[in-house]
Chains A and B, each alone.
Chain A
Amino acid sequence: MEDPTSEDEGMSYDDASVLSVAVEDSPRARARQLQLRQNYRKLIDETQLNKEELVKPDSNGLMENIAKAHQLFKEVNETRGAALDSKFMTLAVTLGAQKTNLLQTDLVAFQPDEFIAKLVTCMGGTVSEEKDEIDIPENGWNVLGQKTATYFTSLTPALHPLLGAFEAIESGKTNRQATQRNKEKETAAKVQLPKELTNYKDDKKEATPEEIERVLHIINTFYKDDPSPIDYFELVVNPESYGHTIENIFHLAFLVKDGLVKIFLNENGLPVVEPVNIRSDDISPRKKGKKAKKANNQVIVSLSMDEWYSIIDAYQLKGKQPYIPSPGN
């Protein structure tokens, strides 16, 4: 009779030899069987625990565990042990199949549909049974964008200027911006011409006589109510519009050139404006350039946008009605 506890050296075993082993029913034998079962359970648990490691293509762990189980099985002579062995084998076979999958070239083939389906899940969406209703939540694409952001090696921020970009992205925009800038330049440039007491014949398009008339009228009205010189900047600055401010400067320049208004520095060194009373003074309503008696000064006034802002702050003009209301008010 074979000794059931003797070790078998070879890897293979003979079915016949297992069947021919007589089942000894002694306390020692039962204890041995118990030990075997415990070993099996340990092996199964271990295999379960390490399954990630075991399925890796370069791992031999699975083979080793199978060898261990094989050794155990040689001694098993009752059903409970055999059942455990089966359990282990089932586990090993499953892992083996997974391992095979990983080993084979392209067997983890990329299926676009599968990929897409997983994306839907990733976005928190659902797909109906018949695959015709795909429901992606409103935030789904945003979520996907955030998740994939880390897989970009370069995310560049762009500049979004608060007041809009002056540089054109499309040529259409350049033209609009360019013409606007050119107009302002024109206005500023023309301010210098009348002050130089030279001809002004090409300025007709910017300063219609009516506009200049209107400004004169406003100045006279204010002066009538309060016969004191008006502060130059308070007069010309329109806190709502830089462009209109420049126009006011321009119109005022005409009035000075024509001798209808005078600008001088008051005791504080600030420029002030006063209408010239044609009646009382010795100025005859003659043509331009004939006021030799009065001091003729050439002054160039320039006002940048920053300076315009500073003046608004200094005089606290913000929100106040401008002396000269913008045309169209």
Chain B
Amino acid sequence: MSSSQRNFDKAEIDRKVNDVVHLMLIWEQRKIPIKRADINKHVLKEYRHAFNDVMKITDKKLQKVFGLKLLEIGEGGKRAYILVNMLEHSETQQMMNWNDNPKRGLLFTVLSLIFMSGNSMTDGTFWNALKGLGIEKDKPHPEFGDVKKLITQEFVRQWYLEIVKLPNCDPPQYEYKWGLRAYHETSKMKILEFVTSLYDKSSVMVWKSQYQDALEEQRKTI
């Protein structure tokens, strides 16, 4: 039944594109970036040689139909795709009850802490700070359960966080940094805006060095 023909059969390509769109939307449930190998394995299979063409059309479809953009992040061995929302935040989006709000709140807290502290924090300082929120590294949390797992595994797997082992440290020490995905879903300037409003300061410029940092990032992305 399965043909081993390798023609670029248009109808078949369209079908594969639809399957990839479907796959990406479902994969987004976990927020784990999807690799080329995953797409080939689950959908393309014998059509993997058409990968580039399929992905181009997939991106167009995602943009036109769902307002989502396909973004390739990372390089070399660590390369994967994520979906990014093309649409601006509207009031309705704010009102929508995303059911992973608590996790998002925690994620934002973590990203803010790291950025405001100069883009990296040692794990000691990091967990110490979180204590102030009632979060203990090794105690189950009423809202998040195993917070250590959530932060050091889930957020890392989703590429929101990067945890790097510092060399020549005994006992081992880790550095907590922003992951690639974080840069695409928020920005340093946005974090600064949040912190400024939280502190009820008059302007983002009061955070001199962070402001410079955020400006740099803005310049690079434009």
Contact = CB atoms under 8 A, between A and B. Distances in A.
Interface of A: 52, 55-57, 102, 105-106, 108, 110, 112-113, 115-120, 122-123, 127, 131, 134-136, 138, 141-161, 165, 167-169, 174
Nearest to B187: A153
A33 to B, nearest CB: 38
Nearest to B68: A156
Interface in B199-222: 199, 201-203, 205-210
A195 B8 CA distance: 36
Interface string B22-65: 11011111110000000000110000000000000000000000
A151 B22 CA distance: 28
Interface in B157-171: none
Contact of A148 (B23, B29, B104, B209): B104
Given A134-B132, A154-B185, A149 B207 contact: no
A146 B134 contact: no
Given A112-B129, A136-B133, A158 B26 contact: yes
B85 A141 contact: no
B17 interface: no
Contacts of A116: 109, 113, 129-130, 132-133
A153 B190 contact: yes
Contact of B209 (A106, A115, A165): A106
15 contacts: A108-B208, A110-B207, A112-B129, A118-B199, A135-B134, A141-B102, A141-B105, A145-B103, A149-B93, A149-B104, A152-B185, A154-B185, A154-B186, A156-B28, A169-B27
Interface of B: 19, 22-23, 25-31, 42-43, 68, 83-85, 89, 93-94, 97-98, 100-106, 108-109, 112-113, 116-117, 125, 128-130, 132-134, 143-144, 184-187, 190-191, 193-195, 198-199, 201-203, 205-210
A161 to B, nearest CB: 7
Contacts of A108: 201, 206-208
B198 A106 contact: no
A119 B30 contact: no
A56 B125 CA distance: 33
Given A102-B206, A110-B210, A120-B133, A153 B108 contact: no
Contacts of B108: 144-145, 148, 151-152
Given A152-B190, A154-B185, A169 B26 contact: yes
Contact of A155 (B27, B85, B195): B85
